[in-house]
Structure 1
């Protein structure tokens, strides 16, 4: 029987019910609730330190008007990191390998940045479509190009997250299958292959965290242009 390596990206179901909703809600159960005590435990202290450092780094290039989005960016960052990391565990599913989900996250958030720019500073927002000092014959062409580049931003956000996670999962499965097949036949070749698989898993953990950060960082840059 020929295995299809893309079966791991199909949304699992149980008794006809898709389990993607469970995969999306599960990460929030791992975060502890706020404690009413004066001193928090180590988990809450580490969580608060991470969120504060991330928000401080993210809001550095933003104007004062963009600071209202701090809670949304922090929640989105934690959500993406959680589902990306949980998808690396055995017998789990990574919802962010689905382009539909990533576009469902990217398009509304990108549209909110555009709407905010059109409401607060419409002249500056429309001015991004035409660079200053453009020769008159090139004005129609540049407006079309800049409009396409603006509309393609949510697609680039979703495709970037999907492609990176899908490629990493496929490579891990390919190398794991090769190590499993080579182990009884050529043990001396299988051992380095398993070492490579371990290093690749560590790299995929880093990719899962970095891609979540890049997704939120690009959204903050889009917001900076419109506040």
Structure 2
């Protein structure tokens, strides 16, 4: 029986029920507990510390006006990181492996930076489309190229996130399939080595899920820096 490698990016269902929502609810139920204090449970404290550290690293290279968007950037990072990590749970997939989801995350955020730039410093924003000392004959071409470059930013953000996650998950499926075959053919020789490789790749994918969320948010922070 042939298996489509990209079937893993479809929403799994059992008896007509969507398992993605169930997985997310179970994760929340296991991680959080009822309490009368906001940061009494360990996970909210970890999330708060993580958001603070990420915000600090992202806000260092940008100007004070852009730093006002710290809560938005921290929330964006935590949202994308959570969506990426959901794909590591059984019977589910990462929503961010779909280009449409990533475009829905990238387009409004990028458009917000453009609107902010047009509102706060329109002259400087338009000046980015034309470098200094550009020959007169090249001015229309340079403006067209820079405009296309600006419009491609949200697409680049979405494709980068999608491609990295899909590549990692497909590679994990290929290696896990190979391990299952080798477990039957050579259970004592090659199978343990492939299993070790799968464990290392899983650890790498966990890191990639966080790194890609950080890169996505950092680029948005730099776009804010340009437009504030």
TM-score, reference length from structure 1: 0.90
Indicate whether 1:217 and 2:212 are aligned: no
SS in 1 for 2:65: helix
Query: More displaced, 147-156 or 77-86?
Result: 77-86
- Shift in CA distance, 130/14, structure 1 to aligned 2, threshold 3 Å: farther
Q: Does the 8 Å CA contact 1:97/1:163 hold for their aligned counterparts?
A: yes
Shift of 1:197: 0.7
- Render the CA deviation track for 1:33-86: whole Å, top value 9, x for unaligned: 89648x845444333222211111111122222122111111111111112112
Indicate whether 1:195 and 2:173 are aligned: no
Query: Which residue matches 1:12?
Result: 12
Query: Which residue matches 1:58?
Result: 58
Q: Does the 8 Å CA contact 2:179/2:195 hold for their aligned counterparts?
A: yes
- Render the CA deviation track for 1:94-139: whole Å, top value 9, x for unaligned: 1000000000100111001001101111110011000111111111
Shift of 1:189: 1.3
Q: Does the 8 Å CA contact 2:11/2:92 hold for their aligned counterparts?
A: no
Indicate whether 1:157 and 2:157 are aligned: yes
SS in 1 for 2:201: helix
Query: Which residue matches 1:47?
Result: 47
Structure 2: how far apart are the matches of 1:149 and 1:185? Answer: 52
Q: Does the 8 Å CA contact 1:106/1:154 hold for their aligned counterparts?
A: yes
- Render the CA deviation track for 1:154-187: whole Å, top value 9, x for unaligned: 0000000000000000000000000100111122
Indicate whether 1:81 and 2:64 are aligned: no
Query: Which residue matches 2:207?
Result: 206
Query: Which residue matches 2:95?
Result: 95
Query: Which residue matches 2:142?
Result: 142
Query: Which residue matches 2:176?
Result: 176
Query: Which residue matches 2:227?
Result: 226
- Structure 1 unmatched runs, 5+: none
Q: Does the 8 Å CA contact 1:97/1:162 hold for their aligned counterparts?
A: yes
Structure 2: how far apart are the matches of 1:221 and 1:71? Answer: 15
Q: CA RMSD in A?
A: 2.4
Structure 1: how far apart are the matches of 2:143 and 2:17? Answer: 46
Q: Does the 8 Å CA contact 2:20/2:91 hold for their aligned counterparts?
A: no
- Shift in CA distance, 17/92, structure 1 to aligned 2, threshold 3 Å: closer
Indicate whether 1:109 and 2:109 are aligned: yes
Query: Which residue matches 1:3?
Result: 3
Structure 1: how far apart are the matches of 2:217 and 2:157? Answer: 9
Structure 2: how far apart are the matches of 1:27 and 1:124? Answer: 46
Q: Does the 8 Å CA contact 1:80/1:212 hold for their aligned counterparts?
A: yes
SS in 1 for 2:227: coil
Q: Does the 8 Å CA contact 2:12/2:19 hold for their aligned counterparts?
A: yes
